[in-house]
């Protein structure tokens, strides 16, 4: 599955289905990176990734330090390393189905 389809699928999942299960660090990271594929403001990413601002304050510096996301002015964008993480995460998810 191409990464663009994977991102579309992750962001369009039924909200009720996603609320039922707790997400781990890798899934939250994938959601943030998916939301930031095109430059987006922090607020937009928080809403798309379905996280609160408190959690965002922890994740954004963590992802920046690891080179998965970059801050461009007042917007964030997923880096090539972040895109590779998404591809790898997608493969892992498919193998576990």
Q: How many domains does the chain have?
A: 1
| pTM of the predicted structure, to 2 decimals | 0.79
- Provide the residue range defining the domain that includes 20: 3-96
The per-residue pLDDT for 2 is 75
Task: Give φ, ψ of 15 to 5 degrees.
Answer: -55, -40
Instruction: Please write the tens of the pLDDT for every residue from 19-52.
Output: 567 889 999 999 999 999 999 999 999 999 999 9
Q: What is the DSSP secondary-structure string of 4-35?
A: HHHHHHHHHS-HHHHHHS---HHHHHHHHHHH
Instruction: Please write the tens of the pLDDT for every residue from 48-71.
Output: 999 999 999 999 999 999 999 999
Q: What is the dihedral of CA 53, 33, 23, 57, to 10 degrees?
A: -20
CATH number at residue 69: 1.10.10.10
Task: Give φ, ψ of 24 to 5 degrees.
Answer: -90, 180
Give SS3 for 39: coil
Task: Give φ, ψ of 74 to 5 degrees.
Answer: -105, 20
């Amino acid at each position: 599955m191409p990464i663009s389809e994977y991102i579309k699928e992750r962001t369009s999942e039924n909200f009720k289905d996603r609320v039922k299960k707790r997400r781990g660090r890798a899934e939250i990271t994938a959601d943030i990176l998916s939301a930031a594929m095109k430059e987006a403001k922090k607020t937009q990413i928080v809403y798309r990734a379905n996280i609160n601002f408190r959690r965002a304050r922890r994740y954004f510096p963590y992802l920046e330090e690891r080179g998965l996301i970059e801050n461009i002015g007042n917007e964030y964008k997923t880096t090539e390393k972040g895109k590779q993480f998404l591809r790898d995460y997608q493969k892992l998810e498919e193998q576990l189905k």
